[in-house]
Amino acid sequence: MKRALCSASIALLGLALVLPGAGRGAQDQDKEVLKLQLPKPMFVGTPKNIRTPNLEPITGRPRGPFLVPLGTVLLSAGKPVTSSDKEPVIGELAFVTDGKKSGEDGYYVELGPGVQWVQVDLGKPQPLAAIVVWHYHSQARVYRDVIVQVSDDKDFISGVTTLFNNDHDNTSGLGIGKDKEYIETFEGKLVDAKGVKARFIRLYSGGNTSNDMNHYVEVEVFGIPAK
Amino acid sequence: MTKKAFRGLFFCALLGALLFRTVRLDLRPMHHDEANQALKFGDLLERGEYRYDPKDHHGPSLYYLTLPVARLTAGRSLAATTETTLRIVPALFGTGLLLIFLLLLGGLARETVVSAAFLAAISPALTYYSRFYIQEMLLVFFLAGLIASGWRYLQTRSGWWAAAAGLAAGLMYATKETSLILFGALAGAAAIDRILRPKAVRHEPRNPAAVLAHGAIFLVSAFVPAWLLFTSFLRNPKGLAESVHAFGTYLGRAGEAGVHAQAWFYYIKTLLYSRFGHGPVWSDAFIVALAVAGSIFAFGSEPGKDGHPRLVRFIFFFTLLAAAAYSLIPYKTPWNALPFYLGLVLLAGNGAGMIWRASKFLVIKVLILAVMAPGILNLASQDYRANFVDYANPTNPYVYAQTSTDFLKLVRAVEGIAAVHPEHERMLIKVVAPPDETWPLPWYLRNFERVGYWTDMAQAGDLREAPIVITSAGFADEAARRLEGGTQSAFYGLRPEVVLSLYVRQDLWDAFLKSPKSSS
């Protein structure tokens, strides 16, 4: 009896497994897998070799107007700059706030490879409206893991606010950011500071699509001067 | 120089050349042109199909010569081949070039041959393009073969050397259509050599029947390999005729150089002094200076006890004519300098050899070596830097439209995402980019079964059906709009100024970040 029950169960299980397939087989017997012919890559001869600067943006439209509170001024002009790389490869840290934004050689500071930061000291906490950064705009390239943080703590241990983070795989170890990467242009990247009050502004990056180095032509911090 | 010393030194040069050319062939990302050649070779490897393309890709010899190497190491699958499988072919020809120098003994003194071998071994240009899967090094090898066989024929009047010269000429033609420039320079140098020879020697009696027979042997030996290769071993009978029609295409391209137009002094300037931005100085001035000395010595009375001034003078005139022709053509790329660079290396070998023979005294020879040592060390150091450090750095003058190392991060990301996708290498990938911003993607995505390439966003269909979309920067905004969010995007450098955008379905990206591949 036990053996009969067992055999019946196996038979039923077999039917259950086979029947749906058999039904589908019957439905699909006049069909086949759609084989898509995907387009092959087109050949073109040796591409252009580029070693010269290009001041034109590759893509995107001009940035629209960005509204700030009345009385907003440039706070960062000539302010002291420190960095994780004490001895820049090219240029000087003072270039970051010297007001010169040319894309040519002699206007940017180059920091070593990997994750590096520059920090601007505004002297005292002030309400910030916008931060604009120009990494290197004489060539279409993308800087990796760009993070903009502000704080009143010069070591960025406490009271840190992250305003921008496009480190999508946490290379820098400061958390995954949801902001988008962008191609450097002469317009710079504008980060909305949303009125946050801070004294120090720290900007991280982790190399770029052309090499592993980090560059800054200029950083501008706008806000309402503290009275 | 004794035979024993010559053998020892030549072996050292050969070993050095082999090491510089074959170690870490996978280091440099595939260049746009290499990837094109690789995919064309893939048709031959996997389906036995080769059809001469009169518009691009150059001659068939590279593909057919790669076939045995690939079959031995990777079977019949392009996916199983690697950068090393392909690049080992020009690397072996680049090393074999030194062996061709041995055939010039008798025309060139032992000191000249061994010096030229050392200079070729540590030449940054010859090494760089020996590690590059394009036709150039094969062309240089066959050119050297033609010069050496021609020289041997003149010495022996043997039909075998006429056949060898013919074979080399035929393979030159089957390698690159622009070999015609080199045939012209060789013919010009031969004509000048004849004019400069004393009348009595010029009109020495010869057997006209033998000359005719050897001429016929030369032509048949040249025609047969070119005919077989261009016609895909008779499967494409039009191939050879198409190669002749291709002259029009290449002539037009040479004149309308477009983005490759350079001033007439581009090659000589590149050889003498190159510095880009804050990069280091690159210079082959040591070779050029020795070549100038070697050229002057060629017109002296003392060619070395085992040398012959006629061959050195012939090489001088060939180098001069070839350099002039390539310099006058507006279309210039650094690898096009290699054929006349070969002449420079041989002349530099002559210069070094003659200086070495300047005195019999060992002390003087040691002093000569001490004076030349900085030049040799600088060349060797540049060779190392060009091929093992700055192999993709635009400040390297031999780096031309080279794929950035950053591009490999995109490849690793795609491979990592495929590892977490249920369909793995069967997952759909859509690439939307103009052709000059597409390569070498097809090489790196050769393992993936469903990759579509479009040059127009409108034709690419619904991007949302593909877990991975790769676009040129010009299509990035539109791609983001069509994908309607739900993706992680990242930019990767393809070449200087050229950026690609990668879009990955968010759930896959998150899974990728959790996978061990994301940290590798």
Nearest CA in chain A to B450: A38
Q: Which residues of A touch B (CB under 8 A)?
A: 36, 38-51, 54, 58-60, 90, 105, 139-142, 168-170, 176, 180-183, 208-211
Nearest to A209 among B32, B33, B404 (CB): B404
* Boundary (domain end) residue, out of B333, B358, B389: B389
pLDDT tens for B73-120 read 989 999 999 999 999 999 999 999 999 999 999 889 999 999 999 999
Q: Which of A33, A36, A42 to mutate to test the interface with B (most CBs of B within 10 A)?
A: A42
CA atoms of B217 and B384, how far apart (whole Å) = 43
Reduce the DSSP state of residue B394 to 3 states and report it.
Answer: coil
Q: Is residue B301 part of a domain?
A: yes
Quick one: pLDDT at residue B203?
A: 60
Answer for the pair A110, A214: CB distance below 8 angstroms, yes or no. yes
Average pLDDT value for chain B: 92
CA atoms of B293 and B282, how far apart (whole Å) = 21
Of B278, B277, B294, which Cα lies nearest the Cα of B286?
B294
The DSSP bridge partners found for residue B452 are: B430
Q: How many CB pairs under 8 A join A and B?
A: 122
Quick one: pLDDT at residue A63?
A: 72
pLDDT at B26 > cutoff 70: yes
Interchain CB distance below 8 Å, B518 and A140: no
CATH code, domain carrying B513: 3.40.190
Of B331, B345, B58, which Cα lies nearest the Cα of B179?
B58
Contact with chain A for residue B21, Cβ under 8 A: no
Q: Is residue B256 part of a domain?
A: no
pLDDT at B162 > cutoff 80: yes
pLDDT tens for A166-215 read 998 898 999 999 888 888 888 889 999 999 999 999 999 999 988 889 99
pLDDT tens for A60-79 read 456 778 888 989 999 999 99
**Residue B460: both structure tokens together:** 């690419």
Quick one: pLDDT at residue B307?
A: 63
Q: Which of B46, B266, B406 to mutate to test the interface with A (most CBs of A within 10 A)?
A: B406
Quick one: pLDDT at residue B418?
A: 96
Cβ contacts (< 8 Å) between A38 and chain B: which residues? 450-453
Q: Is residue B258 part of a domain?
A: no
Looking at the structure, tell me whether residues B284 and B380 fall in a common domain. yes
Cβ contacts (< 8 Å) between A142 and chain B: which residues? 491-493, 499
Cβ contacts (< 8 Å) between A141 and chain B: which residues? 493, 497, 499
Q: Is residue B184 part of a domain?
A: yes
CA atoms of B130 and B151, how far apart (whole Å) = 25
Reduce the DSSP state of residue B294 to 3 states and report it.
Answer: helix
Nearest to A39 among B406, B452, B474 (CB): B452
pLDDT at A58 > cutoff 50: no
Domain range for residue B483? 407-519
Looking at the structure, tell me whether residues B328 and B425 fall in a common domain. no
Q: What is the CATH number of domain A74-223?
A: 2.60.120.260
Looking at the structure, tell me whether residues B338 and B481 fall in a common domain. no
Looking at the structure, tell me whether residues B346 and B381 fall in a common domain. yes
pLDDT at B299 > cutoff 90: no
Looking at the structure, tell me whether residues B380 and B421 fall in a common domain. no
Half-sphere exposure of B283 (CA within 13 A, CB side): 14
Looking at the structure, tell me whether residues B352 and B429 fall in a common domain. no
Residue at B310: amino acid letter = R
End-to-end CA distance of chain B: 54
Quick one: pLDDT at residue A52?
A: 41
**Residue B458: both structure tokens together:** 């409108």
Looking at the structure, tell me whether residues B110 and B24 fall in a common domain. yes
User: Looking at the 3D structure of chain B, how many domains does it have?
Assistant: 2
pLDDT tens for B234-280 read 999 999 999 998 888 888 777 777 788 889 999 999 999 999 877 89
Share in percent of chain A as helix, strand, coil (round to 5): 15, 30, 55
Distances (CA, A) of B494 to B224, B433, B498: 42, 12, 5
Contacts of A73 (CB under 8 A, 6+ apart): A222, A223, A224, A225
pLDDT tens for B327-374 read 999 999 999 999 999 999 999 999 999 888 877 788 888 888 898 999
Give the helix/strand (H/E) hosting B374.
Answer: helix B362-384
CA atoms of B51 and A165, how far apart (whole Å) = 51
Q: Is residue B305 part of a domain?
A: yes
Quick one: pLDDT at residue A22?
A: 43
Answer for the pair A175, A149: CB distance below 8 angstroms, yes or no. no
DSSP-derived secondary structure letter, B390: S
Answer for the pair B249, B54: CB distance below 8 angstroms, yes or no. yes
**Residue B433: both structure tokens together:** 């980019």
Quick one: pLDDT at residue B303?
A: 52
Cβ contacts (< 8 Å) between A43 and chain B: which residues? 36, 56-57, 435
Quick one: pLDDT at residue A33?
A: 57
* Boundary (domain end) residue, out of B326, B358, B389: B389
pLDDT at A19 > cutoff 70: no
Nearest to A46 among B33, B431, B455 (CB): B33
Answer for the pair B105, B306: CB distance below 8 angstroms, yes or no. yes
Arithmetic mean of pLDDT, B440-444: 97
Answer for the pair A166, A146: CB distance below 8 angstroms, yes or no. yes
Arithmetic mean of pLDDT, B192-201: 80
Looking at the structure, tell me whether residues B135 and B93 fall in a common domain. yes
Task: Name residues 50-109 of chain B within 8 A of A (Cβ).
Answer: 56-57
Contact with chain A for residue B451, Cβ under 8 A: yes
pLDDT at B51 > cutoff 50: yes
**Residue B227: both structure tokens together:** 């005919």
Looking at the structure, tell me whether residues B381 and B508 fall in a common domain. no
- Give this complex's ipTM: 0.73
DSSP-derived secondary structure letter, A42: P
CA atoms of A204 and A174, how far apart (whole Å) = 10
Q: What is the 3 state secondary structure string of B143-167?
A: HHHHHHHHHHHHHHCCHHHHHHHHH
DSSP-derived secondary structure letter, A97: G
Looking at the structure, tell me whether residues B94 and B215 fall in a common domain. yes
CA atoms of A134 and A215, how far apart (whole Å) = 9
Looking at the structure, tell me whether residues B86 and B134 fall in a common domain. yes
Answer for the pair B300, B316: CB distance below 8 angstroms, yes or no. no
Q: Where are the domains of chain A?
A: 74-223
pLDDT at B465 > cutoff 70: yes
pLDDT at B453 > cutoff 90: yes
Interchain CB distance below 8 Å, A141 and B499: yes
pLDDT tens for B119-128 read 999 999 999 9
What is the nearest CA distance from A190 to chain B, expressed in angstroms? 18
What is the nearest CA distance from B162 to chain A, expressed in angstroms? 36
Q: What is the DSSP string of B118-134?
A: HHHHT-HHHHHHHTSSS
Cβ contacts (< 8 Å) between B513 and chain A: which residues? 169-170, 176
Reduce the DSSP state of residue A182 to 3 states and report it.
Answer: coil
Nearest to B496 among A43, A45, A50 (CB): A50
Quick one: pLDDT at residue A59?
A: 43
pLDDT at A16 > cutoff 50: no
Give the confidence band of A21 by pLDDT, cuts at 50, 70, 90. very low
Looking at the structure, tell me whether residues B341 and B456 fall in a common domain. no
Contact with chain A for residue B39, Cβ under 8 A: yes
Arithmetic mean of pLDDT, A119-129: 96
pLDDT at A10 > cutoff 50: no
What is the nearest CA distance from B517 to chain A, expressed in angstroms? 12
Quick one: pLDDT at residue B240?
A: 92
pLDDT tens for B370-411 read 989 999 999 999 999 999 999 999 899 999 999 999 999 999
Interchain CB distance below 8 Å, A209 and B493: yes
Answer for the pair B274, B281: CB distance below 8 angstroms, yes or no. yes
**What sections of B48-158 are H helices per DSSP?**
61-74, 83-103, 110-121, 124-130, 136-156
**Residues of chain B above pLDDT 90, percent:** 76
Q: Is residue B73 part of a domain?
A: yes
If phi > 0 it is left, if psi is from -120 to 50 it is alpha, else beta; for residue A78 that is: left
Give the confidence band of A32 by pLDDT, cuts at 50, 70, 90. low
- Of A20-24, A83-87, A113-117, A141-145, the range with the lowest mean pLDDT is A20-24
pLDDT tens for A134-149 read 999 887 888 999 999 9
Q: What is the pTM of this model?
A: 0.84
